[in-house]
Amino acid sequence: MSGPGRGRRLPLMSARDYGRAPREDREPGRPSRALVVALLLACASLMVLDGSGGALDPARRVVGEAVGPAQAAADGMIRPVVGLSERFETQDHLRGELAALEAENADLRAAVRTAPYDRARLAELEGLTSAATDLGQALVPARVIGVGPSQSFRSTVTIDAGSQSGIRPDLTVLNNDGLVGRVLRVTATTATVLLIVDPDSTVGGRVAASMELGFLKGRGVLGDAGRLDLELVDETVVPRKHDTVVTWGSTDGASPYVAGVPVGEVVSVYSSLRESSQRAVIDPYVDFAALDVVGVVVPSGTRSDRAVVEADGSLR
């Protein structure tokens, strides 16, 4: 035969090749068109069944009954682990609040315990203000920080104010009750005070009612049994019981004792046959066994590293 195709032999086809769909040329890994069409039909069928009013409910119920207990058990195991960090954070917060409450409670207990002491100190400071006003003298407040003998004196105390506070020897020391003593010596930050109850202390005194003069000497005893002996200049004068005795004052009116500071009151009077004189026993106003806040009389305008109570009661 001649013509196009003549001479070319067609491939033989077996019987099994008839009816086979032509082979599709597709990329490796890409699903076939038939598979895609099948999946789309399946999705459409499920949507129709779900919208038809519960056709899938039995299947869902079966799955739920089978899977539900397992989910509950798993949730019960996972929930404590998930909430563990939150529990730790909550416990840390509670511990912080508990610590704050305990600290606040401790502060309140301390305040309750120290309240009487704070009130007593406040009363003494207010008393110093009144004393400064009554005497017309400036005072440097100080606290007693030591009690004990000093050199040849038996009855002394140490206060926490010295030369930096304007303190120098031979200045009057008092508190809100009356005369305490005089400054013996000072350092930059402390001072030693000789108490009027010391046996070697002598204070010029005046009986307030009669204005009679005398000299007060200590017996060296502190506390309730501490007493002073008053010997009057006029031996014929007999002081009366309960008379008030105040300081006589010095020649310069300032050191070692200013005038008019209350010392104590007469509790008894006795006669000295050997010296032919009248003597009075004085109960001091100051409790020397419980000294705390005192004031040192300083000249007005004294430079000090602490507040000074002025004669008018103001603080400088």
Question: Looking at residue 249, what is its pLDDT?
Answer: 79
Confidence of residue 284 (pLDDT cuts 50, 70, 90): very high
Does residue 45 form part of some domain? no
Helix axes 84-135, 57-82, angle to 10 degrees: 40
pLDDT recorded at residue 5 = 47
Can you give the pLDDT at residue 65?
57
Among 4-8, 121-125, 297-301, the range with the most confident prediction by mean pLDDT is 297-301
Q: Is residue 288 part of a domain?
A: yes
* Contact predicate 55/49, CB 8 Å: yes
In a domain, 218, yes or no: yes
Query: What is the length of the chain?
Result: 316
Provide the phi-psi class of 218: left if phi over 0, else alpha when psi is between -120 and 50, else beta.
Answer: beta
Bridge partners for 144 per DSSP: 159
> What is the Cα–Cα distance from 120 to 85, expressed in whole angstroms?
53
If one compares 292 and 92, the residue with the highest pLDDT of the two is 292
Tokens 């002073």 correspond to what residue?
228
Strand intervals (E) in the chain: 138-150, 153-159, 172-174, 179-186, 191-195, 202-207, 213-218, 228-232, 244-247, 262-272, 277-284, 293-298
Neighbours of 72 (CB within 10 A): 10
As a whole number of angstroms, the distance between CA 287 and CA 141 comes to 18
Q: Measuring CA to CA, how many Å separate 143 from each of 119, 298, 302?
A: 15, 16, 19
Residues 172/250, Cβ–Cβ less than 8 Å: no
Task: Say if 5 falls within a structural domain.
Answer: no
The answer to which of 53-57, 179-183, 230-234, 309-313 has the lowest mean pLDDT is: 53-57
Instruction: Return the bridge partners of 205, or none.
Output: 214, 247
Tell me the pLDDT of the chain averaged across its residues: 77
For residue 11, name the pLDDT band (cuts at 50, 70, 90): low
CA gap 192, 159 in Å, rounded:
7
Of the candidate ranges 126-135, 156-165, 247-256, the one whose mean pLDDT is the lowest? 247-256
Label residue 271 by pLDDT band (50, 70, 90).
Answer: confident
Q: Tell me whether the omega of the peptide bond preceding residue 169 falls within 30 degrees of 0, making it cis.
A: no
pLDDT on residue 92: 74
Say if 228 falls within a structural domain.
Answer: yes
Task: Identify which of 70-74, 166-170, 234-238, 239-243 has the greatest average pLDDT.
Answer: 166-170
CA angle 119, 226, 276 (to 5 degrees): 145
Residue given tokens 């600290």 in the structure block: 103
**Nearest partner of 131 among 248, 258, 227, judged by Cα:** 258
Q: Is 113 helix (H, G, I), strand (E, B) or coil?
A: helix
Q: How many structural domains compose the chain?
A: 1
Q: Element (H or E) spanning 180, and its range?
A: strand 179-186
What's the confidence (pLDDT) of residue 130?
85
Domain range for residue 280?
56-316
Residue 279 inside a domain? The answer is: yes
Instruction: State the Cα–Cα distance between residues 47 and 198, nearest whole angstrom.
Output: 113
Residue 179 half-sphere exposure, CB side, CA atoms within 13 Å? 36
Q: 60 is written with which tokens?
A: 């869902």
pLDDT tier at 105, thresholds 50, 70, 90: confident
Question: CA-CA distance, 306 to 184, in Å (whole number)?
Answer: 21
Q: Is residue 167 one of the residues assigned to a domain?
A: yes
Residue 168 identity (one-letter amino acid): R
Residue 173 maps to a domain: yes
